[in-house]
């Protein structure tokens, strides 16, 4: 039967008639033997009976005992000879020996059953001895049996004349305390447990024996059933300590194994540096690394086979884990090496806007004071603001032309007001955006310009008034030059005397008699002039499609990484423009095919 059916059966029989206590005992036994009460959060069958039905421990124990003794094979059917007997009779009959129980019939009264109990043989100990009796004034007072041969202090046997509970094997002799699992309540509980056949308290023959008298010494400490819910508190405490010791040993083993691993090599750091997309102008900070890589993992490249981030640090190529502070330090050292290499290879383009290029040997500058740093930042502030203005989109610049500070500030907060840590652009400009401010820095400065959006708008408008050339639109000279060059190329084409037939229009240039195609020798074809111009920057449909796929992947990566809306919008514009270009090229190719 299902657990819910057993519970419903208990409720039904409790609310029906008093004689249904037999079935109540059966249902309680099923729930106890299968430990189903744990599904409702109870620790044992007694708590379950009390919490669900208000039954006391004695009542629940009595119902289960009556069902166990007076049923057929311990099942749900009562033996025929006991059917019709009331609960009072059966309750009194529980303590009758089997030979006396045979004398009871349906006509036997409760008084007669009690008389049979009184006439029963006087109980003896497990060993068949009466209780030990000491003479008056004796110094020996230890209770036991067999005239002192056995004492209750060390005995674990099921005894009819037990005078004192056996003491716990872990108790000191100077302050002994009894074994909690030799009580009658425990024995009643364990009889309906899943582990009743393995319990040393019920089956002392399963317990180890003492070296002296060879008597069994059962204890939960020696029991292998560590999941038994009736396990004593002493054993549970030892189990918990054993678990802590194992955990400590495992942590120590892991620490030793971690310490035995080599630290990531310079090659490993370089591989991660490239994989993460850092360059010589990137800002590398331990907190930023933790935010980005604490739940990340990847790799698969030739140098970076694997990396795994955690709340503490990163493990690169299965080497020893580095904390984020250690990783930031290693990456910064490698970045500095790369910067020196770049400066040595291109000394004329590194920080060209803010450092004079000379042929004199490079000398290490003296450290700047805070005052000098502030003065340098103040001097470069207009250039920093101008550099950021140049990076804006035309639509954003149109908003600025309106000269309405409130609208401009609102536009900046909308487009750039999300928390974003950026990298330096091709001009060396770096901006870190926040909802209420922006940090601007540029190569060659010792500290960033930190300014609120409102103040930035004010300073930008003032700068545009001082330097109107920033808003000037350059004359389209390049477009005019292109328009004048196109006809010239057309005229050159018309003067070509090298002709090919329709089928060989893509062959190499031909010379000589043009009455027949010099490529295939066929006469009578329509000839087309051959224009042979080699453009190294020319591209086709395959090139556009490749770039389109590249930017589609980038756009998806931007969305997954939670990049700012403005950065994602720029990537989408490039994607959509390439899509339109691809559609046009494919349409032109189909039109050309139709003409042929």
Which residues in 243-277 are b (16+ Cβ under 10 Å) and which e?
Answer: eeeeeeeeeeeeeeeeeeeeebeeebbbbbbebbe
328 within some domain:
yes
State whether 12 and 105 are in the same domain: yes
In this structure, are 8 and 114 located in the same domain?
yes
Query: For 17-24, which contacts have Cβ atoms below 8 Å and span 24 or more sequence positions?
Result: 18/86, 18/87, 19/86, 19/87, 21/63, 21/66, 21/87, 22/63, 22/66, 22/67, 22/70, 22/71, 22/78, 23/67, 23/76, 24/63
The verdict on residue 432 lying in a domain is yes
Identify whether 363 is part of a domain: no
353 to 193, 339, 343, 374: CA distances (angstroms): 85, 17, 14, 19
Q: pLDDT by residue for the chain (596 residues), tens digit each? A: 788 888 777 777 765 544 577 888 889 999 998 899 999 999 999 999 999 988 898 888 888 888 888 888 888 888 888 887 878 888 888 888 777 788 888 888 888 888 877 766 677 888 878 888 888 888 888 889 988 888 888 888 888 888 888 888 888 877 788 888 877 778 778 877 888 888 888 888 888 988 878 888 899 988 988 888 888 888 999 999 999 999 999 989 988 888 888 989 999 999 899 888 888 888 899 999 999 888 888 877 668 888 899 998 999 998 999 999 999 999 999 999 988 887 776 554 444 433 433 444 444 445 567 777 777 778 888 888 888 888 887 888 888 988 899 999 988 888 877 765 555 555 567 777 778 888 887 665 656 788 898 899 999 999 998 888 888 755 444 444 444 444 444 344 344 444 445 455 444 334 444 455 555 555 544 444 444 445 556 777 877 887 887 888 777 777 766 667 777 788 889 888 888 888 888 888 888 777 76
Q: What is the DSSP string of 27-55?
A: HHHHHHHTTGGGGGT-SSHHHHHHHHH--
Same domain? For 453 and 560 the reply is no
Does residue 446 form part of some domain?
yes
The 3-state DSSP class for residue 385 equals helix
Residues 505 and 589 in one domain: no
Q: What's the predicted TM-score (pTM) here?
A: 0.33
Domain identity same for 406 and 436: yes
Answer yes or no: do 519 and 562 share one domain: no
In this structure, what token pair is assigned to residue 351? 């920080």
Domain containing 558 equals 541-595
315 close to 307: Cβ distance less than 8 angstroms? yes
**Between the CA of residue 290 and those of 241, 281, 322, 328, 332, what are the distances in Å?**
35, 20, 11, 10, 15
Does residue 275 form part of some domain? yes
Q: Which of 428, 453, 471 is the last residue of a domain?
A: 471
Is there a contact between 223 and 197 (Cβ–Cβ < 8 Å)?
no
Distance set, CA 441 to CA 44, 199, 384, 421, 451 (Å) = 69, 76, 7, 12, 11
pLDDT value for 347: 55
Query: Hey, what are 376's tokens?
Result: 């340098």
| Residue that is last in its domain, among 295, 329, 345 | 345
Query: CA 21 to CA 180: how far, in whole Å?
Result: 30
Total structural domains in the chain? 5
> Same domain for 275 and 380?
no
> 369: which 2 tokens?
């004071």
């Amino acid at each position: 039967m299902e657990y819910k059916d057993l519970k419903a059966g208990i409720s039904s029989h409790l609310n029906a008639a008093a004689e249904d206590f037999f079935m109540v005992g059966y249902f309680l036994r099923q729930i106890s033997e299968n430990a189903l009460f744990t599904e409702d959060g109870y620790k044992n069958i007694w708590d379950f009976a009390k919490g669900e039905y208000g039954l006391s421990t004695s009542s629940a124990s009595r119902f289960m005992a009556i069902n166990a003794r007076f049923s057929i094979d311990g099942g749900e059917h009562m033996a025929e000879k006991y059917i019709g007997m009331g609960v009072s009779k059966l309750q009194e009959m529980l303590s009758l020996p089997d030979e006396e129980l045979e004398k009871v019939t349906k006509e036997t009264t409760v008084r007669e059953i009690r008389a049979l109990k009184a006439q029963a043989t006087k109980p003896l100990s497990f060993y068949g001895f009466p209780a030990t009796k000491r003479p008056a004034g004796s110094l020996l007072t230890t209770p036991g049996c067999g005239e002192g041969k056995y004492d209750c202090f060390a005995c674990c046997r099921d005894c009819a004349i037990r005078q004192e509970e056996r003491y716990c094997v872990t108790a000191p002799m100077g302050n002994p305390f009894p074994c909690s699992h030799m009580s009658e309540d425990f024995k009643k509980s364990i009889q309906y447990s899943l582990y009743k056949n393995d319990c040393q308290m019920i089956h002392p023959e399963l317990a180890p024996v003492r070296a002296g008298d060879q008597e069994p010494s059962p204890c939960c400490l020696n029991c292998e059933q560590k999941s038994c819910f009736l396990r004593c508190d002493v054993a549970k405490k030892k189990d918990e300590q054993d678990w802590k010791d194992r955990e400590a040993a495992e942590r120590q083993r892991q620490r030793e194994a971690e310490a035995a691993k080599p630290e990531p090599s310079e090659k490993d750091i370089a591989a991660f540096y490239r994989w993460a997309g850092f360059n010589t102008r990137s800002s590398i900070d331990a907190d930023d690394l933790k935010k980005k890589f604490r739940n990340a993992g990847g790799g698969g490249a030739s140098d970076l086979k694997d990396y795994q981030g955690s709340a503490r640090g990163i493990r690169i190529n299965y080497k020893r884990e580095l904390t984020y502070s250690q990783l930031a330090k290693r990456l910064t050292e490698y970045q500095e090496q790369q910067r020196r290499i770049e400066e040595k290879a291109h000394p004329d383009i590194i920080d060209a806007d803010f450092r004079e290029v000379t042929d004199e040997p490079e000398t290490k500058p003296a450290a700047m004071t805070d005052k000098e740093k502030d003065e340098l930042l103040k001097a470069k502030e207009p250039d920093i603001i101008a550099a950021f203005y140049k990076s804006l989109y035309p639509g954003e610049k149109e908003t600025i032309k309106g000269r309405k500070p409130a609208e401009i500030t609102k536009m900046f907060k909308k487009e750039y007001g999300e928390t974003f840590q950026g990298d330096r652009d091709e001009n060396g400009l770096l901006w870190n955006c926040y909802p209420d401010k922006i940090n601007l820095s540029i190569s060659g400065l010792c500290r960033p310009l930190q300014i609120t959006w409102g103040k930035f708008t004010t300073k930008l408008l003032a700068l545009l008034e001082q330097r109107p050339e920033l808003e000037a639109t350059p004359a389209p000279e390049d477009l005019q030059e292109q328009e004048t060059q196109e006809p010239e190329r057309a005229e050159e084409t018309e003067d070509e005397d090298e002709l090919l037939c329709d089928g060989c229009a893509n062959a190499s240039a031909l010379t000589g008699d043009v009455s027949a195609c010099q490529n295939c020798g066929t006469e009578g074809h329509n000839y087309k002039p051959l224009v042979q111009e080699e453009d190294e920057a020319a591209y086709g449909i395959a090139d556009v499609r490749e770039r389109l796929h590249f930017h589609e992947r980038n756009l998806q990566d931007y969305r997954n990484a939670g990049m700012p809306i403005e950065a994602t919008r720029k990537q989408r514009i490039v994607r959509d423009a390439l899509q339109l270009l691809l559609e046009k090229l494919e349409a032109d190719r189909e039109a050309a095919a139709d003409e042929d």
